[in-house]
Structure 1
Amino acid sequence: MKLNIVPASTGITWVKLGVKTFLQQPLAMSGLFFLYMAVGTLLSLLPVLGLILAFMIVPAATLGLMAATQEALKGKFPMPTVLVSAFRAGRQRMRAMLVLGALYAAACLLIVMVVPFLVDAPPVPLVTPSTADAGREAMLAPQFQLTMLVTMLLYLPVSLLFWHAPALVHWHGISPVKSLFFSFVACIRNAGAFLMYGLGWFGVFLGMGIVLSIITGLTGSATLMAAAMMPLALLMAAMFSTSIYFTFRDSFVATPPDDLTGSAEDAHNTDDKS
């Protein structure tokens, strides 16, 4: 296994492949993502350890969604059991994934504890139909936006550390600590591609928002936009999660042939021919 440096334009290809693969199995991919979100939400409601458990399952769930993307690429319908792929690869891999989950939970909890010391953080407003206006006003407040900005800045290095780590642990048998190092290096060395990847997804989300705003304007119903916003956001998040597999696949070389289905270069060649 070695790092593969890809051109910046590959980031846009990752976005295209994510959208294309999601549309091949929209019911399965969206259903799996919603299932993961539901489990995470239920775990977070448990007293004392709930939030820790919700954080701990993130690396394993990320791997499960990547495995589901592999299944979709092979023309198969990903079943719900694919979400627990990380725990079906033997005790050693399962133990390593649990360690990775514990490290991720510790990092996220550290951010949660540090942010209030850096910013006088207001509580996150609970938006309900009766308090929607007040909730939107609170979210637009400068203090709240500053809190979100600081949180995102602190989470960025954590995201880079754990971006490829679950796949490296599961498919390459790399230790959790080493997987964090390799993930961070891969993201930094392919910073141009990841920048374009982020901009590409920002454009997709922005475009969907504009379309929804136009539909709302034509129908004259603000209720329609409020009702469609959350389901649409979750659907877009599911589509985004489908693209994560491609960022891993093209960032490393010497993945077993059975785990590969095409490449970003192949996608470029296909685009050129069309």
Structure 2
Amino acid sequence: MQLLKVPPKNGYIWLRQGSWLFRKNPLAILTLLSVYLFSVLLMSILPIAGSFLPLLFIPGLSVGFMAACRDIIQKKPILPTILLEGFRNHGKITTRNLLILGSLYIASIACIFIFSALFDGGQLLRLMIFGAQIDSEFLANREPMLGAMLATAVAYIPITMLFWFAPVLVAWHEISPVKAMFFSWTACVRNSRAFIVYGLFTALVATLVPMVIGIIMLLLNLGKFLALVLMPYSIVLTAIIYCSFYASYLGCFNIQ
């Protein structure tokens, strides 16, 4: 495995390759995405623990999604059980390391929300972690919470860099969790311009395209059908973005 440095345009290429991967087997990808989101939703129902429990398994489940993309390219059949590939097919040590990685992810997210308390006195922390209700107090203090949400979004960027490639490096290359996070960070920093382009194009298709669709439908007096169009679009876009993660992995690492 060799870490590569790619030109900025590759950020757009990753998203385009994600679209290509999705079109190769859209039914399988949408099924996996549905199973994944439903599983996360079930775990999140639990009080307090539901705020953290899904995060514990996200690194391992993301390996399963990457494995599905790999198998689609190799024209192999895709079953929903492939989501557990990271936990089933690489031995107990890898399973343990993926759970350690999930624990580190939980700790990172907790630190972000604790950091957000500096901006709103802990409103967002209580809402997201402890399941506080949105009442008149929350509504009356929207500006501090908006500031906390912005701070959280900015603080999440380095966390994303640490964990972007870490799960697949742990599972497929037998690297320890901490080293995998370091290599993930290094890959993202080295290819930061490509990731900026990737983020800009992703934001473009996630915001501008739905906005244009909405304006057109409103002009045609079809506003009541807007949700019927934007919901499938959002689901397909999410699937394409998940597929593009695998494209970025192939783009940043020379896999022998």
Report TM bin, short chain.
0.7 to 0.9
Count matched residues.
Answer: 243
User: How does 1:201-240 map onto structure 2 within 5 Å?
Assistant: 201-240=202-241
2:109 alignment partner AA: C
Structure 1 residue runs of 4 or more that deviate by more than 6 Å after TM superposition: none
Aligned to 1:80: 80
Query: C-alpha separation between the residues in 2 aligned to 1:251 and 1:54?
Result: 27
Superposition deviation, residue 32 in structure 1: 0.8
The answer to whether residue 18 in structure 2 is matched with residue 15 in structure 1 is no
Q: Contact 1:121/1:143 (CA < 8 Å) preserved in 2?
A: no
Which residue in 2 is equivalent to 1:177?
178
Between the aligned partners of 2:68 and 2:92, the Cα distance in structure 1 is: 21
TM-fit CA distance, 1:50? 2.0
Q: CA RMSD of the aligned region, Å? A: 2.3
The alignment status of 1:41 with 2:41, answered yes or no, reads yes
The residue aligned with 1:130 is none
Please tell me whether the aligned partners of residues 116 and 149 of structure 2 are also in contact (alpha carbons under 8 angstroms): no
Work out the CA distance in 1 between the residues paired with 2:216 and 2:27.
24
CA contact (8 A) 1:160 1:184 kept: yes
Match of 1:269? none
In structure 1, distance between residues paired with 2:28 and 2:216: 27
Offset at residue 215 of structure 1 (A): 4.7
1:118 aligns to 2:119 (yes or no): yes
State the distance in 2 between where 1:145 and 1:4 align: 38
TM alignment of 1:17-166, pairs within 5 A: 17-88=17-88, 89-120=90-121, 142-166=143-167
CA distance in 2, matches of 1:218, 1:23: 31
The percent of aligned pairs where both chains have the same amino acid is: 34
Aligned to 1:6: 6
SS of 1:250's equivalent in the other structure is helix
Q: Deviations over 1:180-213 (max 9, x none)?
A: 0000010000011111111121222235314531
Q: Which amino acid aligns with 1:19?
A: S
Q: Indicate if the aligned counterparts of 2:7 and 2:194 stay in contact, CA closer than 8 A.
A: yes
Shift of residue 35, structure 1, vs aligned partner: 1.3
Displacement after TM superposition at 1:93 (Å): 0.8
Q: C-alpha displacement at 1:115, in angstroms?
A: 0.9
Aligned to 1:167: 168
Distance 2:122 2:230 in 1: 26
Structure 1 residue 25, shift from structure 2 partner: 1.1
CA contact (8 A) 1:30 1:239 kept: no
CA drift at 1:228 = 4.2
Match of 2:74, as an amino acid? Answer: K
Q: Aligned partners of 1:20 and 1:235: how far apart in 2?
A: 12
Q: Is the 8 A contact 1:22 1:239 kept in 2?
A: yes
Partner of 1:192: 193
The residue type equivalent to 1:148 in the other structure is M
**Could you tell me how far 1:143 is from its partner in structure 2?**
4.3
Q: Answer whether contact 1:12 1:197 (CA < 8 A) is retained.
A: yes
Indicate conservation of the 8 Å contact 1:25/1:77, yes or no. Answer: no
Flag structure 1 segments of 5+ consecutive residues without an equivalent: 126-137, 257-274
Distance in structure 2 (CA, Å) of the matches to 1:169 and 1:90: 12
TM-score, normalised relative to structure 1 = 0.81
What is the aligned partner in structure 1 of residue 136 from structure 2? none
Tell me the CA shift for residue 47 of structure 1.
2.6
Aligned-residue offset at 1:110: 1.9
Instruction: Specify every segment of 5 or more residues in structure 2 that has no aligned partner in the other structure, as ranges.
Output: 129-138
Q: Is the 8 A contact 2:15 2:240 kept in 1?
A: no
1:230 is displaced (CA, Å) by 4.1
